[in-house]
């Protein structure tokens, strides 16, 4: 990245944050005039999902209402539960801004191999209910919901398959209850240090240039909030990817008919730790400490063309030197969409090798 590009990025970040400053000033006015008329929780109309069987999402829905205590029920959570009830559980976690639709190509091969595959939609995504305000979404909410779902379904001896924010959330749960997981499959994700943490690497122009793209993205998300252009985000994410037509894109955007449904989508980028004292930071560091002492099998399966998490596979191999590795060639960030069948085969081979080793 040259100096002109750096100057442009810095300028855009400054402009976005100035506009966001004025947005925050006007926000109370909007809340008084319009916020009180908006429901706090929404449920995406079922007809938005009616045609998804045509693109391979033909799984039966399962719903659960989790008790948050003090008589309060959390928003309804949707999850897929396919395969034999007594089969070994593979828990698949989506990230931003996707939902269980992302795993539709991986579920059939895994089920055919005898596994029970569970794929939840985090609150704010997919067929799960959605808080309208981004302020309701926290890392602790997502990890709590996942732990409560695991407990309610009495899941044990699980294989965790995680990607994007599914990694940050899922690995945070792993470090809290490692005994429930028998192996990990880590794909295109990370356990990021705070963006503005120069303690270990110090400040340099190279370091500054490295953090500018995400800082700009974060600034734009903060500015646009729930008005993020969902269709454009998915089009950019799947640009020039094989087999991703308009019907598939419609499947990914189905949970978000209007901006009122996008609170979860608008919150996750802002939860990536930016400063050392951000609430998520300690979860990331503790998850790394957990992996440093992890003795169970790990498969690191990263794309060779992911512009978002490129290089993070090295972090996981440093944390778990004994981890197996596979490179998914030709895939970008959402590798489950374009290479789902290939990844399933790699997971089945990985788990089969573990069975042979244990004999």
Look at residues 234, 188, 170 and name the one whose alpha carbon lies nearest to residue 343: 188
Grouping H, G, I as helix, E, B as strand and the rest as coil, residue 159 is: strand
Q: What integer pLDDT is reported at residue 32 of this predicted model?
A: 65
Question: Measured between alpha carbons, how far is 263 from 40 in angstroms, rounded to an integer?
Answer: 10
**Chunked in runs of 10, what are the mean pLDDT values of the chain (359 residues)?**
77 89 79 69 96 96 89 91 96 97 98 98 98 95 97 96 98 97 97 80 68 86 91 88 89 97 96 92 97 97 94 96 96 95 97 72
**CA 88 → CA 57, 108, 120, 352, distances in Å?**
22, 15, 17, 12
Q: What integer pLDDT is reported at residue 329 of this predicted model?
A: 95
**Tokens standing for 106?**
């991986």
**H-helix segments, the chain:** 3-33, 107-112, 139-152, 165-176, 205-224, 230-237, 246-253, 263-271, 279-292, 312-319, 335-358
Question: Measured between alpha carbons, how far is 196 from 86 in angstroms, rounded to an integer?
Answer: 46
Would the CA dihedral through 311, 315, 318, 323 be positive or negative? negative
Grouping H, G, I as helix, E, B as strand and the rest as coil, residue 326 is: strand
Question: Measured between alpha carbons, how far is 94 from 83 in angstroms, rounded to an integer?
Answer: 19
Q: What integer pLDDT is reported at residue 189 of this predicted model?
A: 97
CATH architecture classification, 39-358? 3-Layer(aba) Sandwich (3.40)
Question: Measured between alpha carbons, how far is 160 from 146 in angstroms, rounded to an integer?
Answer: 12
**Marked catalytic residue, from 121, 129, 278, 306:** 306
Look at residues 41, 35, 25 and name the one whose alpha carbon lies nearest to residue 73: 41
CB 331 within 8 A of CB 341: no
Q: What integer pLDDT is reported at residue 297 of this predicted model?
A: 97
**Marked catalytic residue, from 164, 278, 283, 339:** 164
Q: What integer pLDDT is reported at residue 204 of this predicted model?
A: 67
**CA 97 → CA 68, 74, 179, 297, distances in Å?**
25, 21, 29, 28
Look at residues 320, 346, 324 and name the one whose alpha carbon lies nearest to residue 335: 346
Task: Provide the Cα torsion 101, 139, 27, 17; round to 10°.
Answer: -90
**Marked catalytic residue, from 78, 142, 333, 339:** 333
Grouping H, G, I as helix, E, B as strand and the rest as coil, residue 144 is: helix
Burial class of residue 164 in the structure, from the number of CB atoms within 10 Å of its CB (0-12 exposed, 13-18 middle, 19+ buried)? buried
Q: What integer pLDDT is reported at residue 251 of this predicted model?
A: 97
Q: What integer pLDDT is reported at residue 358 of this predicted model?
A: 59
Phi-psi region of 18 (alpha: psi -120 to 50; beta: other; left: phi over 0): alpha
Q: What integer pLDDT is reported at residue 25 of this predicted model?
A: 86
Look at residues 46, 47, 39 and name the one whose alpha carbon lies nearest to residue 128: 46
| Whether 333 is catalytic | yes
Look at residues 356, 357, 355, 359 and name the one whose alpha carbon lies nearest to residue 157: 355
**CA 262 → CA 73, 114, 181, 229, 257, distances in Å?**
21, 36, 31, 10, 9
């Amino acid at each position: 990245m040259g100096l002109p590009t750096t100057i442009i990025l810095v300028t855009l970040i400054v402009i976005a944050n100035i506009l966001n400053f004025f947005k925050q000033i006007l926000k109370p006015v909007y809340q008084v005039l319009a916020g009180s008329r908006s429901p706090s929780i929404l449920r995406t109309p079922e007809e938005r999902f009616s045609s998804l069987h045509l693109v391979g999402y033909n799984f039966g829905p399962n719903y659960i209402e989790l008790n948050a205590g003090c008589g309060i029920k959390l928003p309804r959570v949707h999850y897929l539960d396919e395969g034999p009830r007594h089969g070994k559980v593979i828990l698949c976690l989506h990230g931003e801004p996707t939902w269980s639709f992302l795993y539709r190509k991986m579920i059939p091969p895994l089920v055919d191999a005898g596994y029970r595959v569970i794929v939840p939609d985090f609150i704010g995504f997919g067929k799960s209910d959605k808080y309208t305000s981004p302020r309701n979404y926290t890392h602790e909410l997502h990890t709590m919901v996942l732990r409560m779902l695991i407990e309610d379904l009495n899941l044990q001896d699980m294989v965790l398959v995680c990607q994007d924010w599914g990694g940050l959330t899922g690995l945070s749960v792993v470090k809290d209850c490692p005994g429930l997981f028998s192996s990990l499959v880590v794909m295109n994700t990370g356990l990021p240090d705070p963006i503005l943490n120069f303690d270990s690497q110090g400040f340099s122009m190279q370091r500054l240039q490295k953090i500018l793209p995400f800082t700009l993205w974060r600034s734009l998300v903060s500015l646009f909030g729930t008005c993020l252009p969902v269709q454009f985000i998915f089009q950019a994410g799947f640009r020039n990817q094989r087999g991703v037509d308009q019907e598939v894109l419609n499947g990914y955007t189905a949970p978000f008919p209007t901006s009122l449904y996008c609170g979860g989508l608008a919150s996750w980028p802002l939860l990536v730790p930016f400063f050392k004292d951000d609430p998520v930071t300690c979860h990331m560091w503790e998850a790394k400490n957990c992996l440093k002492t992890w003795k169970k099998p790990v498969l690191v399966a990263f794309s060779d063309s992911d512009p978002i998490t490129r290089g993070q596979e090295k972090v996981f191999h440093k944390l778990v030197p004994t981890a197996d590795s596979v490179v998914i060639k030709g895939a970008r960030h959402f590798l489950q969409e374009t290479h789902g069948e290939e990844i399933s085969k790699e997971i089945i081979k990985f788990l089969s090798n573990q069975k042979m080793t244990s004999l």
